Amino acid sequence: MHIRTASGLIAGARHAREIGCTTFQIMSGNPSAWNPGELDPAQAAGFTALLDETGMRPVFLHAGYLINLSCRTGRNAPLYAKSVTLLKKTMERAAALSCEYVVVHLGSRRGTSADAALASLVDGICRLGDEICGKGPGVRAGPMLLMENSAGAGETVGSTFEELAAILDAAKQRGVRLPLGICLDTAHMWGAGYDMTSGAAARRMVDEFDRVVGVERLHLIHLNDSPLERGAKRDKHEHLGCGLIPLKGLEAIARHPKLRSVAMVMETPGKTEPSDEKRMDDLRALAGL
């Protein structure tokens, strides 16, 4: 589950343990700010100690929403530079909190071509890798950067499996220094038009992802329902079973044998009902646990 940390990192991790999480996701400070704020060393140490004590692993740190690495031309150049800087700070924060992964949205191409957006993304990721890891040979250990698929709204990047594969392959060819992977959001896939209307359709979709991208590159699934029609090209989440994605489709993903080693978290709206405990019960039931 995505865990809110407004009351502090340690309180958030304790809540995750209390509701039965074995893995969870948090945000990196204010998700809509360029400055995520300073990390309290005592909170970071206590957070890491609690993770080690409870074995809740892996932990995912979601990067801020302002980041856009898909456009660097004209008046977007300052935004691009700020995006690289903020993502670097997020990666450093993840390392300080012993988070294994950082999840980032790929942003929008803002009127540029698909090829230009791809080049912009790969250059940004390579620059980030050089700044974090130095410029020597080889990929360095540290948090893995997971690129999240989009719902395809406007000119957002990464709504298709082919686009995600192209980004990973281009980064590999450039010798990127960071370990890279993919995060898939079911509400985003539904918005982009992928078929989860039945268990069989969802299983075919997983097989398509494996063929195009490779399940070995998939490290996280945001298991979200959506209140919108399939193909709406919009990003909106709903609790499992309360939206328009058939439960049989979500169940097929949660129970797919190819995805047994892939972490799954929910990012559903922050309502009082259902409670976090009920949400976790629903997720476990969906996964057959």
Answer yes or no: are the C-beta atoms of 93 and 36 closer than 8 Å.
yes
Question: What pLDDT is stored for residue 73 in this prediction?
Answer: 87
Name the residue with higher pLDDT: 273 or 194: 194
State mean pLDDT over 105-114.
94
Burial of 79: CB neighbours in 10 Å, binned 0-12, 13-18, 19+: middle
Residue 230's CB is within 10 A of a number of other CB atoms, namely 17
The model's pLDDT over 253-263, given as tens digits with 9 standing for 90+, comes to: 999 999 999 99
Report the Cα–Cα distance between both ends of the chain, in Å, rounded.
15
Asked whether the predicted pLDDT for residue 8 surpasses 70, the reply is yes
Question: What pLDDT is stored for residue 269 in this prediction?
Answer: 66
Answer yes or no: are the C-beta atoms of 123 and 167 closer than 8 Å.
no
DSSP state of 175: T
Fold of 9-287: TIM Barrel (3.20.20)
CA distance 269 to 191: 17
Give residue 10's identity as a one-letter amino acid code: I
* Residue with tokens 């912009």, as numbered in its chain: 120
Asked whether the predicted pLDDT for residue 137 surpasses 70, the reply is no
The model's pLDDT over 64-90, given as tens digits with 9 standing for 90+, comes to: 999 999 999 888 899 999 999 999 999
Q: What is the pTM of this model?
A: 0.94
